[in-house]
Amino acid sequence: MSPDTTRCSNAFRERGEPMIGSAPVARRWLLIEHPGPWSKDHLETPPIAGPVAQAIEAACAEHQGRSLLVRRTGRREPGEANAWYAVDTSLGTWVTGTWRTTDDLLDAVRALGTPLTHSETFAPPMLLVCTQGTRDACCALRGRPVTAALAKVWPDEVWECTHLSGHRFAGTFISMPDGTCYGMVDLPIAVEVVRAHRAGLVDTTHLRGLARYSPAVQAATGLVLAEHGPAAITSARPGTVEVLSETVTRVEVIGDEPLPDTTWVEVTAEALEPAPLSCGKGPGEHTAYRAVVVPDPR
């Protein structure tokens, strides 16, 4: 068997499972510039590992957040300080700073809370592409060509980043400050996917979901965008969300033109047969989110 046939991203594409609803769930993001190398668990990367990493984890848990290490694709100036960015994807705002020592990163941790809540500074666009080969080979093999392609068009906006969950969805990237996550993006289509996103014409074929929503809401809004779009990612948003059982959620999707004003969607979390979710590992349990339009229950 050739190495290519054992790659988790190839196996996922062959299975044809749904990808919508797989975006990592977080409203706020702490992006820490670190040139690497990155440890498998990004917060174990020196010099971040230890008390600062624990503080980052605690702040993320408190503020519906997630952290990533990021790095530029080009050369850095010698002695240049690393940057950090705290981003709120619901408001599109951020707080930024620089760090040279881990003590400086405590400002970044604090920024994820009150400073970001009161920030009125809108964040510029960023494209974060997962290239973390220490987590999975597919992320590096598929992510780095995507990074290079995007950086040719948007050199000041593209960053490599650590794990975005779901190695099998490589190449995968997240757009900031809106928090839209895409997957199964290869070099030939990478620029087209981003251009469509920014033009308000979301390509749902590659959409994993809007990260600030739960998986069920990601799946529900994604279905409406797929059936009535193309449209902007913000054109579909949740109204009433009803948890009907452990596996079934009913979502009222509020739409802007060209989407319907209101669409009710029922989402079922379906446990799939164990399958390879990461290169070099045995089959693992995973879930697909199946969404269907249902009659208005009112």
Q: Is the peptide bond before 295 cis (omega within 30 degrees of 0)?
A: no
Q: How many CB atoms lie within 10 A of CB 1?
A: 5
Lowest mean pLDDT among 51-60, 71-80, 227-236: 71-80
**29-42: per-residue pLDDT in tens?**
999 999 989 999 99
- Which residues touch 142 (CB under 8 Å, ≥6 apart)? 9, 170, 171, 185, 186
Task: For 89-202, list the strands marked E by DSSP.
Answer: 93-99, 126-130, 158-161, 173-176, 180-182
Q: What is the pLDDT of residues 105-126, one digit of tens each?
A: 999 999 999 999 999 999 999 9
Is the pLDDT assigned to residue 3 strictly greater than 70? no
Please state, for a pLDDT cut of 70, what percent of the chain lies above it. Answer: 97
Give dist(CA 220, CA 18) in Å, integer. 13
Residue 226 has, within 13 A of its CA and on its CB side, a CA count of 19
Distance, CA of 59 to CA of 86 (rounded, Å): 11
**Whether the predicted pLDDT of 266 surpasses 70:** yes
Cβ burial, residue 222 (10 Å; 0-12/13-18/19+):
buried
pLDDT(205) > 50:
yes
Mean pLDDT of all residues in 181-191: 96
Report pLDDT for 289.
96
Say what the pLDDT of residue 244 is: 96
pLDDT in tens, 144-180: 999 999 999 999 999 999 999 888 888 999 999 999 9
Domain 1-213, CATH: 3.40.30.10
Which DSSP string corresponds to 198-248? HTT---GGGEEEETTS-HHHHHHHHHHHHHH-S--GGGEEEEEEEE-SSSE
- For the chain, give every domain's residue range: 1-213
Tell me what pLDDT residue 144 has: 95
End-to-end CA distance of the chain, in Å? 55
Which residues make Cβ contacts (< 8 Å) with residue 195, sequence separation at least 6? none
H or E stretch covering 10: helix 8-15
Is residue 2 scored above 50 in pLDDT?
A: no
What is the spatial distance between Cα 193 and Cα 203, in angstroms, rounded to a whole number?
6
Q: Is the pTM of this model over 0.85?
A: yes
Measured distance CA(266)–CA(172) in Å, rounded? 26
pLDDT for position 14 = 87
